Amino acid sequence: MQSDRLGRVGGRAGGVRRVVFGLVATLLPTSTPAGGADLLERGLAGWVVEGTRERETQGLREPVWTYADGVVRCSGHGFGYLRHEQAVSDFRLELEYRFPKNGNSGIGIRTVPFTGPLATRPSQAAYEVQLLSDAGRKPDRGSCCSLYGHEAPTENTSRPVGEWNTVVVECRGPRITIEHNGTTVVDFDQSTRRDTAAKPLSGSISLQNHGSQVEFRDIRITDLSSERLPPSP
């Protein structure tokens, strides 16, 4: 079984690890017919843990984020993010996620490194695509696949706890669309709103640890820098 863990990094080994991550992040995997570059092709290489890194279980310290058999798992302890170091601007991000039990997570887009202050969270510095196990909930600006705090999805298409869900996020200039389980639920132009007009048009992608278990797989990204959608009506 292939296994990749991110945990304690310190001293000289930590310096080497950071250098390796930096080198890998400049070389995204090649695109594939399945739908873009596979961001898990090298396991967790190119990803950085920010915030809570470890948990203690029966006297042993274990990493909060792990990778095995094509699945990234967050144990749900503490708070923080797993951020990909490669900056992107216009792109299509495709992934699947699953909550083993009721949970809360998110996808940061065009974001900055999280260093602790609220201002460096994706929901503040850029955008968070909210992920919740909230099947049946009335959609609002805090429900699943909302642009958290800014734009509510048109409908709630969440599947029951334990089932895999698909998300496709497209960013082209100021226009952001979100597709959830095959349905487009957000089509948003940040330039039309005073509270979002100045938000960044490039940055990193991240996955959120919000204190609950969550799994991700099939994380793929396609560069759309040569394409632009027309402004939203």
pTM equals: 0.84
Q: What pLDDT shows up at residue 215?
A: 98
Q: What pLDDT shows up at residue 57?
A: 82
Measure CA of the first residue to CA of the last residue in the chain; give whole Å: 49
Q: What pLDDT shows up at residue 56?
A: 87
Instruction: Kindly tell me the sign of the dihedral angle through the C-alpha atoms of 50, 55, 61, 65.
Output: negative
Cβ–Cβ contacts within 10 Å for residue 174, how many?
Answer: 19
163 neighbors 157 (Cβ within 8 angstroms) = no
Question: 125-167: per-residue pLDDT in tens?
Answer: 999 999 999 999 999 999 999 999 999 999 999 999 999 999 9
6 pLDDT above the threshold of 50: no
Question: 8-44: per-residue pLDDT in tens?
Answer: 333 333 433 333 333 333 345 544 434 689 999 999 9
Please state which CATH number belongs to domain 3-223: 2.60.120.560
Domain ranges of the chain: 3-223
CA angle in degrees (0–180, nearest 5) for 63-92-120? 50
Measured distance CA(28)–CA(95) in Å, rounded: 16
The rounded mean pLDDT for the chain is: 87
Q: What pLDDT shows up at residue 22?
A: 34
